[in-house]
Structure 1
Amino acid sequence: MKKQVLPAAIAAVSLLGFSQASFALAPATTPDLEIFMSGATAQDKGIAALFENLCDAGTLDVFKDNNKAGSEGKDHTAFFCTLNSTNVPGLSVNGNPVASAKVLLHKRSQGGSAQGVNPLIDGVAIAAMRIDNGNCTQQGVTNTWFCNAQGANLTNQVSDAGVSDVEPKLFTGPNKPSNAGAVDPAAADAALDVVPAAALLFGVPVSDNLYVALQKAQGLLVADGGSCAVGAYTEACMPNLTKQQVAELISGQIKRWSEFKINGTALTALTAGMTYDSGDGVVRNVTPTDTKLHFCKRIDGSGTGAQMYAKFLNNPCSTAGLDPDWAGSNLAGPVKHEVSGSGDMELCLEDFADGENNAKTITSTNPDVFNNANNSALAKGWAIGMQSTENNARVDSDPKRKHYRFVKVDGVAPTLENAFRGKYMDWVEQTIQWRKAISQDKKTVIQKIATDASSPSILGTVLNPDFVHPFGPAGYLAIGNNHPFTENLNLSAPVMPYSHAVAGTLSNCQVPVIKSSTNTSKPM
């Protein structure tokens, strides 16, 4: 047994009457309640913080798969702590009210959002990580354990709950996972309780070398009469891609970056001889050795992919939407790299920034297997991807910063303020859902997580402080249909006044507007 070292954001809220005499739970401890959750990787940091916020201080242990060194927890995580009935009203075990309970929450991230939707509707068991098989090793005196999550260390379970970046009914067309059919709306309504949780900002990430190339092309750098240093990551220094340009790039219309021209000059020609430093002291060339367009894409069933296709390709929102599942060409370009989760997305973008080969792309489907080398030639190229703003909120001097950066879309940076003002378009309303058939014991804990996920104060004080980028605060906003707002954004309790649930139920295909109400304080 050992004392937990709380993350700073959680320690800040631990003064709410938590006992300081509690102890962490070893993997051999039998839980009173075991809950299986699966789905969106974009929200892994949020789910972790929300559950940690419910734990008695000093009782939490975190278990992460170490299937990929340096990317622990990208496929599976588990959280084990003591909850009490003050923090979780109605807490019960086997139907009996209890003052406290040892609760083990499994979170499967592999496969993305659809794994928190389709298997719940169909009652299909999917792999979750065991922690009780002698497969986990404590990391020093911390509360973190690394676990082998392969073979006998996996257990097939029907998930109790799921989290998705978009509503379940959007998992059709290019969003249908390989191991399930398109979501049947009637079946979803019959099997699931679904609640909108919060608005989450996404962005368009590009490899560091492409970021600098776009700065050069758009006249932002001092050498070209601008005011920005090479790679500067402030809002004023972020380069821009239009919505149409993003759609062109991710729908496979551009084979090589030499086709991407600025005032008649190829982008690759503008950067000849340029170098940059990503903050690690290594000087790299801006111009790629491989000029093919590389698109780091999440696999079908990803909510991160679903939101990008809805926002930029109008798919599956319209039968005329553009298709993100194009063949491409490894020789001529463009090249599509299909990866599993947000951690794999980071590896994919870094592979082309640094000339590495760490990400694994999909080899076969149903079940999805990832064995293909992403960049076996160790080429340096320009890559574009998809990612939530929960990720990579670090300055250049931070050795943990991944070598990619977000760009503006239509001249607007992905900040809470810009989304709040209706200027930034790449955000969606995420959902948490659970099977109606599970026990009330489990529902009580899951519903508490879902309620907190929509709380403006918890979003503002527990989650978002970890998502402040050099260009500004990002992350989550509560939903204005459920919470009051004024014409000014309150970062301590942020609320999104715009909604995708105005004409009927939630549909992230809708153009978000501020719902008609008696509220005259609208940030227009």
Structure 2
Amino acid sequence: MKFNTLTLAVSGALVALSGSAFAYNFADGGYTAANTAAIYISGSSATNNQLKAWAKGVFCDSTKQVSYDDVGTDTNQFAVVCQPKTAFAGSFGKTNVAIIKNSNGGSGNGISKLTGTGLQFTNVFQANPVTGALTASRVADIGVSDEEPAILKKALAFTGAIPAGLVAAPLNVTTFGTPVTLGLRNALQDAQIASGALPASCFVGSETEACMPSLSKSQIASIFSGNLVGWGELGLTNPAGDDNVYIARRVISSGTQTASRMQFLNDPCTDGVAGFVPGDNGEVNNKANACNAASYSGRVFEGSGGGNVETCLTNHDRNGRWAIGINSLELPSTTDTSDEYVIAGGAKTGNKILNKDYQRHIKIDGIAPTAFNTATGRYTFWYEATMNTIGTPGGDVGALRTAMITGFNDPAVLIPLNNTFNTTALLGKPAGILAPSASGAPTATEASEASVAAQPLMYYTRSISGGPNSCQPAMSYYSTNINP
């Protein structure tokens, strides 16, 4: 659990007020339920870091904000409370704004939880929001999904009908990848250097694009469909003696899971194709110590959020097992952590461990998941996310929605955000989030690594006919003026 006070003008103290009110001392007073507009967001975890970066850096006054992360040890809950900057403040009915996000269940909940029973969220109006009780269940005001509602409905990412009056607005382009445990990455490097698939100048442990190992799309499809179950089938031998192919996937309601099904198995775009192998390792999908048992009879873990997949990969690596997962490129970042437990199912140590030390993204069909490769159509594992509401809301929810639509993909947000991702740090070139092609034209005459780094914009789209369609093959929206 984390509580962050960010560049406060005064060293504010947490003060419990009467009833359920709560105050954090900003420069000119505290926030309470009476002076704070609370806006609740559900859905995709793939955009969490972007939402935090936009809120803290663009939307909020830097001297009047506070954030709460990993609420109740749940990595899928966070909140940012602040006084908006002057440019936004006049659009809200109250002095302060609380942006409260629950990512449990992923993208499906970014649609289905806009109506009905809803979800529990961080209760920011109490003495300690990090350790205190969550709110009562309530519907979300805004939902975020990695793909459009129609394909998520077909993928069974949520039950029931698409809510009446749902409006889906373009949000961003999320790059996804197939992270593997560090031991497996090293074994792939070793084998591919020996075969000549990687340059002879590479060595095991090289952290460059040229030396990043690869699996083919067909190999990954074979793994995710359950047809390839042992690493020996790829000529690899785990020195720990465990040949099993372990998988860290997401729950069915996840947009990351739907993206992976479409990308590798063409499911649910085409009927009758092989399905993604289901979870079978017996662990709950948000287990803090996921994949840390001494052994497993099953091979597949289903994570509620991207952080749960991260934890699973980290623990598999610590236990000498080789695993592959699915996640957006934001994970692992250079700083995110998992709780440390003694290896092989031991007790919690009280320490944190960096996930980046135990896993790496790899190439697919020889193409690295960099922003340039994604933007220019070389790397194809990306999808266009949407922000969902019931109708076009007014009031405080409408004001936040408008602010996000106009500034969510500003280079001032995306450039530093992508620089926090571990793949960016290792390769020395950005990887991660891009602005959707319809958000604005490129300023460079010719696409290059430098131009995409300066303006993270997608040159391709799957919404070529107007509405989003994730089953549509990607097509160029802007000319790159380069030969792929």
TM-score under structure 1 normalisation? 0.74
Partner of 2:147: 166
Matches within 5 A, 1:451-466: 451-455=406-410, 457-466=411-420
CA contact (8 A) 2:206 2:212 kept: yes
Cα distance in 1, alignment partners of residues 171 and 281 from structure 2: 40
Q: Which amino acid aligns with 1:513?
A: M
Q: Which amino acid aligns with 1:430?
A: A
- 2:427 is the alignment partner of 1:475: no
- Can you list the C-alpha shifts for 1:304-348, whole angstroms capped at 9, x where unaligned? 111111111111111133211447689997611111111111110
Structure 1 residue 29: Cα displacement: 6.2
Partner of 2:47: 43
| Aligned match for 2:385, one of 430, 434, 438 | 430
Alpha-carbon RMSD across the aligned residues, in angstroms, is: 3.0
| Aligned match for 1:511, one of 470, 473, 481 | 473
CA contact (8 A) 1:487 1:523 kept: no
CA contact (8 A) 2:193 2:203 kept: no
CA contact (8 A) 2:6 2:63 kept: yes
Bigger Cα displacement from structure 2, 287-296 vs 303-312: 287-296
Matches within 5 A, 1:101-112: 101-112=95-106
- Can you list the C-alpha shifts for 1:281-320, whole angstroms capped at 9, x where unaligned? xxxxx62343211110111111111111111111111113
Aligned residues: 426
Bigger Cα displacement from structure 2, 25-34 vs 246-255: 25-34
- Tell me the SS of whatever aligns to 1:135: coil
Cα distance in 1, alignment partners of residues 412 and 229 from structure 2: 44
Partner of 1:361: none
- Can you list the C-alpha shifts for 1:249-277, whole angstroms capped at 9, x where unaligned? 0111122222x23xxxx311xxxxxxxxx
Alpha carbons of structure 1 residues 334 and 523: separation in structure 2 relative to 1, 3 Å: farther
Cα distance in 2, alignment partners of residues 256 and 294 from structure 1: 9
CA contact (8 A) 1:353 1:381 kept: yes
- Tell me the SS of whatever aligns to 2:316: helix
Alpha carbons of structure 1 residues 225 and 343: separation in structure 2 relative to 1, 3 Å: closer
Matches within 5 A, 1:20-419: 23=27, 30-52=34-56, 53-68=58-73, 74-87=75-88, 91-93=91-93, 101-120=95-114, 122-136=115-129, 147-148=130-131, 152-177=133-158, 180-181=159-160, 184=161, 187-188=162-163, 190-219=164-193, 226-258=200-232, 260-261=233-234, 266-268=235-237, 287-326=239-278, 335-355=299-319, 380-394=320-334, 400=354, 401-419=356-374
Structure 1 residue 213: Cα displacement: 1.0
Cα distance in 2, alignment partners of residues 351 and 520 from structure 1: 41
Q: Which amino acid aligns with 2:149?
A: P
- Can you list the C-alpha shifts for 1:6-34, whole angstroms capped at 9, x where unaligned? 8xxxxxxxxxxxxxx96387675644311
Partner of 2:289: none
Cα distance in 1, alignment partners of residues 99 and 7 from structure 2: 19
Cα distance in 2, alignment partners of residues 25 and 288 from structure 1: 58
CA contact (8 A) 2:419 2:425 kept: no
CA contact (8 A) 2:392 2:398 kept: no
- Can you list the C-alpha shifts for 1:341-390, whole angstroms capped at 9, x where unaligned? 111111100111002xxxxxxxxxxxxxxxxxxxxxxxx31100001111
Cα distance in 2, alignment partners of residues 308 and 319 from structure 1: 16
TM-score under structure 2 normalisation? 0.80
Alpha carbons of structure 1 residues 22 and 153: separation in structure 2 relative to 1, 3 Å: closer
Structure 1 residue 451: Cα displacement: 2.3
Partner of 1:141: none
CA contact (8 A) 2:50 2:414 kept: no
Structure 1 residue 167: Cα displacement: 1.2
- Tell me the SS of whatever aligns to 1:502: coil
Cα distance in 2, alignment partners of residues 513 and 242 from structure 1: 22
Q: Which amino acid aligns with 2:142?
A: A
CA contact (8 A) 2:415 2:456 kept: no
Structure 1 residue 5: Cα displacement: 2.8
Q: Which amino acid aligns with 2:46?
A: A
- Can you list the C-alpha shifts for 1:30-71, whole angstroms capped at 9, x where unaligned? 443110001111111001111112111211100123433xxx
Structure 1 residue 520: Cα displacement: 8.2
Alpha carbons of structure 1 residues 86 and 504: separation in structure 2 relative to 1, 3 Å: closer
Cα distance in 2, alignment partners of residues 238 and 175 from structure 1: 35
CA contact (8 A) 1:339 1:345 kept: yes
Cα distance in 2, alignment partners of residues 196 and 214 from structure 1: 37
Bigger Cα displacement from structure 2, 328-337 vs 196-205: 328-337
| Aligned match for 1:488, one of 444, 447, 454 | 447
Alpha carbons of structure 1 residues 323 and 154: separation in structure 2 relative to 1, 3 Å: same
CA contact (8 A) 1:207 1:353 kept: yes
- Tell me the SS of whatever aligns to 2:109: helix
Structure 1 residue 238: Cα displacement: 0.7
- Tell me the SS of whatever aligns to 1:197: strand
Identity %: 28
Alpha carbons of structure 1 residues 159 and 248: separation in structure 2 relative to 1, 3 Å: same
Structure 1 residue 521: Cα displacement: 4.4
Cα distance in 1, alignment partners of residues 199 and 48 from structure 2: 42
Cα distance in 2, alignment partners of residues 343 and 225 from structure 1: 33
Alpha carbons of structure 1 residues 129 and 3: separation in structure 2 relative to 1, 3 Å: closer
Structure 1 residue 232: Cα displacement: 1.8
Cα distance in 2, alignment partners of residues 289 and 393 from structure 1: 30
Cα distance in 2, alignment partners of residues 328 and 156 from structure 1: 29
Show structure 2 runs of 5+ residues with no match. Answer: 9-24, 283-294, 336-351
Cα distance in 1, alignment partners of residues 176 and 91 from structure 2: 34
- Tell me the SS of whatever aligns to 2:412: helix
